[in-house]
Amino acid sequence: KTRLKIYRTSLKSSRIIIVIHVLIIIYCGFFFVIIVLICVLTGVFCLFLPPPLLQIPSCAEGGVLGILPGVIGGIQATEVIKLILGKGDILASRILIYDALSMRFREVQVRRGPNAEVNQLVDYQGFCGVGPAAPKPPPEEEGFRRLGAAAAAARLAGGWAPFVLDVRLPQEAEIVRLPFADALVPHREAAAVADQLPRDRDLLVHCKAGGRSATACKALAAAGFERERLFNLDGGILAWAREVDPSMPLY
């Protein structure tokens, strides 16, 4: 679920709104619906109820079938060219729905809401937790330690035996996983299983690129894990493949 809002911008006229938005929905893991919306009316269209904070899955979690953005990207580019040239009928105040499984397009008319004034702009990247990464705080202020792939490999070769927690999704682990990982728990569930993780040995947490594992480490630190025993694998399994084992598949 997500919510789309259209805000006033300008192209030759302050009364013209031009927004192109794509929403790719994955239903039951295999049913794909794509919505393309271009609006040239003042006002706001709220298509869906607002999602719970930080509950929007990332592309790594939700998955994206790569051919779908290509199809819709071509449609977007076509509409932009029509706007620039002033030719044809643009997709205005209409929603175009594309069902890839049945290869059907259909349109939905959108009516302007009665309370369409824009009072404030919402930072949707921040709201959904997908904005630019914040600067890392000084190491001493984090509740965990960061360890690069090469450094982690060297420590493991020297006899280090941490409990290795993979916080990716099961479908990611089916593609590739570290052979010495001890458990697979999605990062959003890390705090819920904190009591089941050992506290008498070091804990090395990893994901695909290091972001989700850092979030999991913060949750585990808040659950009482000691900073000196809690490690985030910087760069994740991608860094491991790049620096330690180039034979590992990438995704």
The alpha-helical segments, DSSP class H, found in 144-222 are: 149-157, 170-175, 211-222
Active site residue 28: no
C-alpha distances in Å from residue 159, one per residue of 2, 152, 155, 162, 164: 47, 11, 7, 10, 14
Q: In what order do the strands lie in the sheet with 203-206?
A: 145-147, 230-233, 203-206, 163-166, 183-184
* Rounded (10°) angle between helices 236-243 and 149-157: 70
Catalytic residue, chosen from 39, 128, 207, 217, is: 207
C-alpha distances in Å from residue 249, one per residue of 173, 175, 176, 242, 244: 11, 8, 6, 10, 13
| 87: three-class secondary structure by DSSP | coil
Non-local CB neighbours of 215 within 8 Å, separated by 6+ positions: 187, 190
Non-local CB neighbours of 154 within 8 Å, separated by 6+ positions: none
Catalytic residue, chosen from 28, 39, 46, 59, is: 59
What is the rounded CA–CA span in Å between residue 180 and residue 166? 10
Catalytic residues, by residue number, are: 59, 207
